[in-house]
Amino acid sequence: MSDDLNHLKSLMDDAIPKPDAARRAANLSQAQSNFATLQQSWIATDSSLWQRLVEWMQSGVGKGAVTASVVLVAAGLFFAAPPEPSQLNAPLATATKIGQSAQEGLVAEFAAPAPMMETDDAFVASRTTALLDRSAAPLTSYERVRAALVQGVYPSKDDVRIAEMVDAFTYDSESAITDENFAAAISRFGQLLHSPQALGRSGYDDVIALAQANLGSDPSGERAEAVMLMQLARDLSQ
């Protein structure tokens, strides 16, 4: 690496923060739970297929039928080995349903064909095509947070996606500082939703004060609404 890049590399290495411990744990457990769900549904599919084959074999009479069955079972397994997209849709759909509904949006994101996808990725993509159709407009992170708080419950941590929440607002106030402060309030709001016990009531009070002081002209009322949601979250945290 040349000097130019070495300089950049050391700046970059210094800039990299440590991953948030709480989100690390949450992400790892989410991954494991998705893994387990996916596996269970695979096994369910496999065993029902297997059972059908056994039943079908038993229904055959005489040795000739069994020999024919063996050949056909071999052929069946050959076809079963690379499962067809139609078979694969079912387990993934189950996994998504059992997991967070937030996954739908995620799966949709991953389903989009990217330029460097491998053949197997295309497989995964085809599994999720059906999902794409069903979840025409997945809710954004902020919409999920709002839906939960309005119902008087904390949003699921998987639904709290800080950068997305910050992006849910329009930033075109007369003052850029107002916008940046408001964005900071939303970001801290997201952090509080991730670990409500960390800062407690005073944490919410600070965030609410910061947001309220930076409403700007707020033509659509979205910022005022966010303050209301923060107040709901504060009340829930007590």
Residues that bind other proteins (CB under 8 A): 1-2, 4-5, 8-9, 11-13, 15-20, 23-24, 26-28, 30-32, 34-36, 38-39, 42-43, 92, 95, 99-100, 103, 106-107, 109-110, 112, 114-118, 120-121, 123-124, 127-128, 158, 161-164, 166-171, 176-177, 179-180, 183, 187, 190
Residue 49 CB, shortest distance to other proteins, in Å, is 16
Query: Which lies closer to other proteins via its Cβ, residue 4 or residue 133?
Result: 4
Contact 214, 171 (CB under 8 A): no
Contact 196, 149 (CB under 8 A): no
Query: Which lies closer to other proteins via its Cβ, residue 66 or residue 98?
Result: 98
Residue 74's Cβ-side half-sphere holds a number of Cα atoms within 13 Å equal to 5
Alpha-carbon distance 221 to 115, whole Å? 40
Residue 65 CB, shortest distance to other proteins, in Å, is 33
Q: In the chain, helix, strand, coil percent, each to 5?
A: 75, 0, 25
Q: Which two tokens stand for residue 117?
A: 């996808």
Residue 27 CB, shortest distance to other proteins, in Å, is 4
Residue 210 CB, shortest distance to other proteins, in Å, is 14
Number of neighbours of residue 117 by Cβ within 10 angstroms: 13
